[in-house]
Structure 1
């Protein structure tokens, strides 16, 4: 097992290095630079050029990359030209919000997906299965940003059940009970909106696993030996069908990254996704490259986690 993990780590590290190079090069190809649009046009162009020289913006790309990656390894991601603060501090503030949003979304997703998937798989081709399957088809066809807008309009503006923006009520003192309640209230609607769409993949996957497992030889044998139906489902079908869902967990992390970009902007939730789009429009390149790098590393690590869990569930996939 440890040999498998070490081999996967040796594959993961070059992927992260290549990812960092590609991200930096794509940022270099974006129009303008970190100073574009942020300096008074009446300032002497020579002074602007002097500032670019001071910041190293005129250096060859490989020198800029070397400076950027060496700083990143030390925890220094540069300075935000828009927010006038270190990028690491800025990301640290937003990362907490995105982390809790992702955790809440995952919890709600599995709380919904597992009962629906089990019901749909166990009672396949019944009215309950058809109803659940219809929901998943609608979920597959519905864009997340459209669904999130509808949820915001209905439950935020029309019914007023949830706050419509921010991550906490203004003036709430951190650490108090009211602060925690306010954080949860601001978190629930975007998390539910994401979960109700992302849940469809897990439901369909679990349904297919249960239907497939029901037809396996060891299930037929268990029934032939006189095992009760509840024992067959609880001890054999459900257990074997739920294990691959655990392996799917890492890929759920990857899916959440794209979802947070849309949802955080729609709900005005101050997280990494909102920071990412704002930094692009404001040409805050140091923030853009850092956020994309963190998103990419999260995706790679999510795939690594899935591979490790899957190797624990099914040792046959381990590379010999």
Structure 2
């Protein structure tokens, strides 16, 4: 319990620090969201009055006449009460705009974590067991080469080959626009069909994890308890999975926690290239229009999700590693 409370305290302080950066960073960027909105209004022939400017500043939480520190405390109050402001790009509450995109981002990232870490873990275990063979050479070299390709290059290559040129997969959207969302096989199959290419791109880019698991597994195979297992005549499959792999997976959990931020960053690029309607698309449009409330809302959600994933990883390490528990209890 002491360990859990200490980690909760750490992540709470980290969240407060992220909130502070989240507030000040967009306001240090060049440009003014209110003036950007008024510029679009003027181009469409709308009339601009001082009352309108004051109302917009109050609505979007941005004012040149109010000190930044006062705006900051007002911002903290709004976060706690669920008032995240109104998007200057979509003219809707920020939470509603982000809610629509978050579902698809969670589907993409969650599918990636499940598929990628299963594949890389099993392949890493297998090639470590087959180390020195041609299977080891082919898989390890291929995984390093594929994972070394920049995200943009890999995604664009897959997009143009399989979606644009061959036409085997759709070039955008999360499902067929002709369908209405429903718990039917037609709708679910359409969602999976549109998810395939973005997910395939992310999985290929994550193949570098094979090398990490391979190294961990090889280190475990040299331990005394592995040699003792062989000496006792324990079957190879049991030694590989229950003795070696069980301990080799532990560092992968830490590696996973450290890579959560890069996973979401990679999904942002993937969503933009494949026109997938997740949070990456929302963030891209918000940056183009200098939509401060939406940018802040996006960063707030990303911060919460990354810190939550790291906290879950800490709990898993505490549960799965008896050495950690014994050190903390000592």
* Same fold by TM-score greater than 0.5: yes
Determine the structure 1 residue equivalent to 2:89: 82
- Which of 170, 175, 185 in structure 2 is aligned with 1:177? 185
Question: Pairwise CA RMSD of aligned residues?
Answer: 2.1
Matches within 5 A, 1:90-239: 90-175=97-182, 176-201=184-209, 203-239=210-246
CA distance in 2: counterparts of 1:150 and 1:87, whole angstroms: 33
- Unmatched 5+ residue regions in structure 1? none
- Is the CA contact 1:206–1:245 (under 8 Å) kept in the aligned structure 2? yes
- Unmatched 5+ residue regions in structure 2? none
CA distance in 1: counterparts of 2:177 and 2:115, whole angstroms: 27
Q: TM-score, normalised by structure 2?
A: 0.89
Determine the structure 2 residue equivalent to 1:8: 7
Could you tell me how far 1:48 is from its partner in structure 2?
6.2
Matched positions, count: 318
Which stretch shifts more, 222-231 or 144-153? 222-231
- Is the CA contact 2:108–2:199 (under 8 Å) kept in the aligned structure 1? yes
Encode CA deviations 1:269-310: one digit per residue, 9 max, x unaligned: 011111112101111110001101211222222222222211
Determine the structure 1 residue equivalent to 2:249: 242
CA distance in 2: counterparts of 1:172 and 1:290, whole angstroms: 30
Encode CA deviations 1:48-75: one digit per residue, 9 max, x unaligned: 6534654451211122122222112122
Which stretch shifts more, 222-231 or 303-312? 222-231
CA distance in 1: counterparts of 2:54 and 2:111, whole angstroms: 48
Matched, 1:265 2:264: no
